Amino acid sequence: MNEKEFFLIGVVADDFTGAGDVASLLSENGLRTLLLTHLDDTIDIENYEAIVIALKSRSQEVDAAVKASREAFDWLKGLGSSKLYLKYCSTFDSTPTGNIGPVADMLLDHYNIDYTILCPTMLENGRTVRDGILYVQGVPLAESSMRNHPLNPMWDSYIPELMKPQSKYPCFVFDDKYLQNKEVGFAYIEELKKQYKRFYLVVDYYNGEQGKQIAELFDALPLWTGGSGILGAFAELYRGDRKESAEDVSKCFRYGRLMFSGSCSAMTQKQVESWLNCGGMGIKLEPKRLADKSQNIEELSRLAMDVLTNKQDILFYSNGSVGERMQGSTEFDSASIMEKTIADLAKVVMEKINIERLIVAGGETSGAVTQALEYSAFTIGSSVAPGVPIMYPLDSPGRQIVLKSGNFGAEDFFVNTLR
């Protein structure tokens, strides 16, 4: 593609941090990228080559997730997207009833597409696929920490087996021998087309060279699905020799930095512990105390502003972020209370003082915070960790926001991001 041609890839992500993840890869690989939290016909898209829409469909009921995804893809299609991409987590977060399978099935049917690929690989974070098996840091998915995920515990590592209960179409492994020999690969696909109306291919992707092979082999497909990793190879294929550096704004900050963690992931637990062990200021949010008002927004916001106006940094974290299981009860829903508290606290503090740097850990938490702050469109800057970009709200371009998925980043994530 030369610079004068207009290219638009339309991505729909099933949660907010996943959207930031894929937007960062597209931006770093030279495509001018815009991230939106809802469909907005007033946005000028002429300067962008990729648009990413962040949904909260990962945790929605199946019917609602399918409906929201169809609306988002139709909107992108109406803008002229030449390729559509369904982005889900690189650990294939879904239950036996969905939502990855039902949404992907809908897209094949809705756009009358014979087949597409399933490619959750993200090499930078140790997610790889080999012979249809998804690995996390070299460990089969069902043997990794994901087996204990509070919302989507993973019961199998073989992607065709994960798809079987949630999709009406068959799923086949497209291993390295097909990537190495295009003629053999296309012959295999043609045989499958003779036998099945629609189907999925789980592609091998465990080294960098395979990314380029996948991008070239499946370039003509109108729809892809997967994690963010393969889109880096796809963007590289389209940008040619052009690569633009992501821009960041350097300035003197008047206040400290505000941080939240609502994630229960094993890595986020380590990141919170690392921050506290380094002497960082942290306040643990406790569901029972929030429910009985012994912890409340007024008290917490006053504390936050006292710290921040003295140019110190502060982290508010859930009990689940330090390894304590957040359990609901008949009296209250701990996760919902935590999510609402963090969102409300961010809104109150940032309305009273102009915090220029905000960091949020956890996909659902990030979505709640951005919704509370009424941010709906972001340009993408450089990344502080693989798949974790600095984002700039179009309405507040001087403000830097970092939103990360639970398992992303190293143990020193908070310290390193602030640095």
How confident is the model at residue 7, as a pLDDT? 56
- Note whether 213 and 283 are same-domain residues: no
Q: Is residue 250 in some structural domain?
A: no
DSSP 174: E
- Structural domains counted in the chain: 2
- Residues 393, 375 contacting (CB under 8 angstroms): yes
- Note whether 235 and 262 are same-domain residues: no
How confident is the model at residue 176, as a pLDDT? 96
Which residue carries 């990794």 as its tokens? 144
Q: Read off the pTM.
A: 0.77
CA-atom Rg of the chain in angstroms: 21
Q: Give start and end residues of each alpha helix (H) in 136-286.
A: 159-163, 176-180, 182-195, 208-217, 229-239, 266-277
How confident is the model at residue 248, as a pLDDT? 45
How confident is the model at residue 149, as a pLDDT? 62
Q: Is residue 245 in some structural domain?
A: no
- Note whether 68 and 168 are same-domain residues: yes
Last residue of a domain, one of 208, 239, 270: 239
- Note whether 100 and 173 are same-domain residues: yes
- Note whether 189 and 278 are same-domain residues: no
- Note whether 158 and 286 are same-domain residues: no
- Token readout for 160 is 């065709």
- Note whether 153 and 60 are same-domain residues: yes
How confident is the chain (419 residues) per 10-residue block, as mean pLDDT? 56 91 88 90 84 91 96 93 92 88 98 97 92 93 72 80 96 96 96 97 96 93 94 80 47 79 87 92 92 92 94 88 48 76 94 91 88 91 88 87 88 88
Q: Is residue 251 in some structural domain?
A: no
- Note whether 230 and 277 are same-domain residues: no
| Element housing 75 (H / E) | helix 62-79
Q: State how far the Cα of 124 lies from the Cα of 108, in Å rounded to an integer.
A: 29
- Range 103-107 contact pairs with CB under 8 angstroms and sequence separation of 24 or more: 103/14, 103/57, 103/65, 103/66, 103/69, 104/167, 104/200, 104/225, 105/167, 105/168, 105/169, 105/198, 106/66, 106/69, 106/70, 107/69, 107/70, 107/73, 107/223, 107/225
Q: State how far the Cα of 161 lies from the Cα of 141, in Å rounded to an integer.
A: 12
Question: Range of 340's domain?
Answer: 258-418
The number of C-alpha atoms within 13 Å of 11 and in the hemisphere containing its C-beta is 35
How confident is the model at residue 329, as a pLDDT? 42
Closest listed residue to residue 179, CA positions, set 224, 157, 212, 220: 212
How confident is the model at residue 59, as a pLDDT? 83
How confident is the model at residue 362, as a pLDDT? 87
- Note whether 179 and 217 are same-domain residues: yes
CATH of the domain at 74: 3.40.50.10840
Taking the CA atoms of 281, 286, 289 and 293 in sequence, report the sign of the dihedral they define: positive
Q: State how far the Cα of 36 lies from the Cα of 326, in Å rounded to an integer.
A: 30
- Note whether 230 and 308 are same-domain residues: no
CATH of the domain at 371: 3.40.980.20
